[in-house]
Structure 1
Amino acid sequence: MATDRRGFCDCLRKTLFRGHLTTAQLKGLEAILDGWEALPETARAKAGGDDALAYILATAFHETAATMQPVRETLAPSDEEAVRRLDRAFAAGRLASVKTPYWRYDADGRTWLGRGFLQLTHRKNYQAMSALTGIDLVADPARAMELHTTVAILIGGMRAGSFTGKSLADYFSGGRADFASARKIINGTDRAALVASYARTFRAALGAGLSPEHGNEYQSAH
């Protein structure tokens, strides 16, 4: 069953987006809904249904600073600026957990800095997502900034447990909806309560109306 996108967006506009949704935010939301609804119904159910979808949306909202568009680490406008910002932070000791600066350009001129909805970092993770999505991110890591590609990484990786070994089904199955613990799919317990609060708001928006006949109503009306 498709989401009634008019009711969904109207609800979000009044809550998380503080009265206004930009064209870019709408496109990001639509892309995630499209990616989710393209999955077989059995796959969506196994992952956790609308509770899992709400958490996917909340994760994108949090990791992109509410833009709902793929972003670079540090929210820099270019790879070059992101590398400069990360180098400055590393030199100042603000990245204590980093032993090797993964963002610095390799011999082939590629940088494995964070990109997309999930801040995909390190060559090995780009390799893993290449295998999962069928998109060659190793040859061209910048493709993680493409909307279609980052949606595939977001949904596919969270379903498969690619990032930490924890998957959506670990927290959203059998009627369980553990929004707080689900942060372990991405980043341990960092900002877990905050992302959980976003997920509950997205879940309420998804419940604003479900209509198989009007799944594209929002798009056609705007």
Structure 2
Amino acid sequence: MNRAAFYAALRRRTSGVFGTSISQQQVTGIEGILDAFITHGDGRDKTLAYALATAYHETGARMVPVREGFAKDDATARRIVAKRAYGQPAGKYGHVYYGRGQVQLTWLPNYDKSSTDAKYDLVAYPDKMLDPVISARVLIKGLLDGRWNGKGNGIAFYLPTSGPDDLKNARRTVNITDKWGMIGGYYKAFLAAIKEAGGVPVAAPLPTPKPEQPVKPLVEAEKPQVRAGSLSGLLAKLLQALAALFKRK
């Protein structure tokens, strides 16, 4: 993916998402999702586009992990969701499992199911969903396996590689069909930008190690040479010393 072209497409006034500018915070959030997709995605442009569209909607276009209601802290978020079914303390830790992250993960069982992907106990530490690396990974893995729609149908079931997109039911991978039309529009905008940028990002290939150079044997010309002249001179000096010794005797 040509990321410069990708952001240029998103900044276009007619893009359908950001308009003419993207903040550093938004870029940071998008980059986290792109990087997570390289390691945890399925290589499909439709999956990446829907992940970005979901984050755009669920975070109010911020693109970074947020608490439900865009609350600044846990206490405020608890007050916001107090009247919701999932807004009461649950489980052995007494946490409230309200929406967190780029996908607004809710309910204790969903935090439990996503702990494996997070490589962290989200039941004990639900605020870890505010970590951008964990949040992006959970977003992508959840879309892929359909864990949130009750049927186990992942995003590829609704947005097949070949065939028409079922955007209404694609929203079931996150939250029934809530605002599906709006999110479908974001999806199309991100998909167009991905295509314009040359497709989904892929991991850069590791550099090919250079073979070790074999030790070159010395050729005859490179071998150290003892000059005949220096050897004969040394022998002459030795003989002179011996002759002088015998004369003294």
Mark yes or no: TM-score above 0.5.
yes
Please state if 1:160 is matched with 2:158: no
**Aligned positions of 1:1-222 closer than 5 A:** 3-14=1-12, 15=15, 16-39=17-40, 44-45=42-43, 49-87=44-82, 90=83, 98=84, 100-104=85-89, 108-164=93-149, 165-176=152-163, 177-210=165-198
Post-superposition offset of 1:82: 0.9
Q: TM-score under structure 1 normalisation?
A: 0.81
| One-letter amino acid of the counterpart of residue 61, structure 1 | Y
- CA shift for structure 1 position 211: 7.3
Unaligned runs of 5+ in 1: 91-97, 217-222
CA RMSD of aligned residues (A): 2.4
Cα 1:53–1:214 shift into 2, 3 Å: closer
Q: Distance in 2 between matches of 1:215 and 1:23?
A: 23
Q: Which residue of 1 aligns with 2:217?
A: none
Give the Cα–Cα distance (whole angstroms) in 2 for the partners of residues 213 and 24 of structure 1.
Answer: 20
Task: Mark the structure with the bigger radius of gyration.
Answer: 2
Moved more, 30-39 or 190-199: 30-39
* Structure 1 residue 136, shift from structure 2 partner: 1.4
User: Runs (4+) of structure 1 moved beyond 4 Å?
Assistant: 211-216
For 1:192 and 1:19, the matched residues in 2 are separated by 25
Aligned partners of 2:39, 2:161: CA distance in 1, in Å?
22
Question: Take 2:118 and 2:71, find their aligned partners in 1: how far apart are those partners?
Answer: 25
TM-aligned CA deviation for residue 73 of structure 1: 0.9
Distance 1:118 1:104, change over 3 A: same
Please list the CA deviations of residues 153-206 of structure 1 after superposition, one character each: whole Å capped at 9, or x if unmatched: 100111011111331121222413333331111112111111000000001100
Contact 2:90 2:108 in 1 (8 A): no
SS of the aligned residue for 1:38 comes to helix
* CA displacement 1:23-80 (0-9 Å, x = unmatched): 11001111111111224xxx625xxx10121111101100100000111111111110
Secondary structure in 2 aligned to 1:44?
A: coil
Name stretches of at least 5 consecutive residues in structure 2 with no aligned partner: 205-249
Decide whether aligned partners of structure 1 residues 170 and 112 sit closer, same or farther in structure 2, where only a CA change above 3 A counts: same
- Give how far 1:101 is off: 4.5
Distance 2:50 2:200 in 1: 22
> Contact 2:89–2:96 (CA<8 Å) still a contact in 1?
yes
Higher relative contact order (CA 8 A, sep 6+): 1
1:201 is aligned with what amino acid?
Answer: A
Q: 1:109, CA displacement in angstroms? A: 4.5
